[in-house]
């Protein structure tokens, strides 16, 4: 049995949707914590970005590919904002405006109508940057904040590397 990319994207979308529902109803609605709220936003961005890539190979690929790249970067920026909210520090606007804008421009000028990986290097760099920033925020938490602080920070650092 061979899994194609579209099947994997649909499976990821279903998983992100279920996780979003779980986060919203079990974590965010009961606590109203900014961290849970940012994770709900991140999951919506990841789900939407993955859904946009389902239009690859169609006439809509030229805009859907670019939109998908921007939404994925916004999702990882929301992960960073969630990590930052644990220290009760508001997110920096340049991360939410500048990094996705650079991704948008790079993807738009790289022939998104014919190139399914348009702006791919910038997309990966932007994702690494924002996940790396999330790792940095987790490292900056007080040592007694949580016993999973260091493993989460190390996992985020490993993912961004």
Nearest to 87 by CA among 29, 145, 42: 145
Average pLDDT over residues 6-27: 82
Average pLDDT over residues 107-120: 89
**Cα 112 from Cα 88, distance rounded (Å):** 39
Q: What's the pLDDT at 15?
A: 84
pTM, two decimal places: 0.84
Mention every residue, 6+ apart, whose C-beta is less than 8 A from residue 55.
61, 64, 65
pLDDT tens digits along 54-104 = 888 889 999 999 999 999 999 999 999 999 998 888 888 888 899 999 999
**Cα 108 from Cα 66, distance rounded (Å):** 6
Ranges 41-50, 76-85, 127-136, 139-148: which has the least confidence: 139-148
Q: What string of DSSP letters covers 100-130? A: HHHHHHHHHTS-TTT-TTTTHHHHHHHHHHH
Q: Where do the domains of the chain lie?
A: 5-160
Contact (Cβ atoms closer than 8 angstroms) between residue 35 and residue 80: no
Tell me, rounded to whole angstroms, the distance of Cα 155 from its chain centroid.
Answer: 15
Q: What's the pLDDT at 159?
A: 66
**Cα 52 from Cα 83, distance rounded (Å):** 26
C-alpha distances out from residue 97 to 22, 90, 94, 100, 131, Å: 28, 14, 5, 6, 16
Enclosing H/E stretch for 84: helix 61-85
């Amino acid at each position: 049995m061979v899994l194609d990319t579209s099947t994997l994207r649909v499976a990821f979308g279903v998983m992100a949707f279920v996780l979003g529902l779980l986060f919203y109803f079990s974590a965010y609605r009961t606590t109203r914590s900014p961290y849970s709220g940012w994770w709900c936003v991140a999951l919506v961005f990841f789900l939407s970005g993955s859904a946009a890539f389902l239009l690859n190979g169609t006439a809509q690929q030229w805009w859907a590919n670019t939109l998908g790249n921007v939404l994925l970067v916004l999702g990882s920026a929301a992960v960073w904002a969630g990590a930052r909210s644990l220290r009760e520090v508001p997110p920096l606007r340049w991360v939410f405006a500048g990094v996705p804008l650079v991704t948008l421009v790079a993807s738009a000028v790289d022939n998104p109508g014919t190139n399914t990986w348009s702006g791919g290097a910038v997309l990966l760099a932007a994702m690494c940057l924002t996940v790396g920033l999330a790792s940095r925020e987790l490292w900056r938490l007080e040592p007694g904040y949580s016993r999973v602080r260091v493993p989460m920070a190390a996992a985020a650092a490993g993912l961004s590397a």
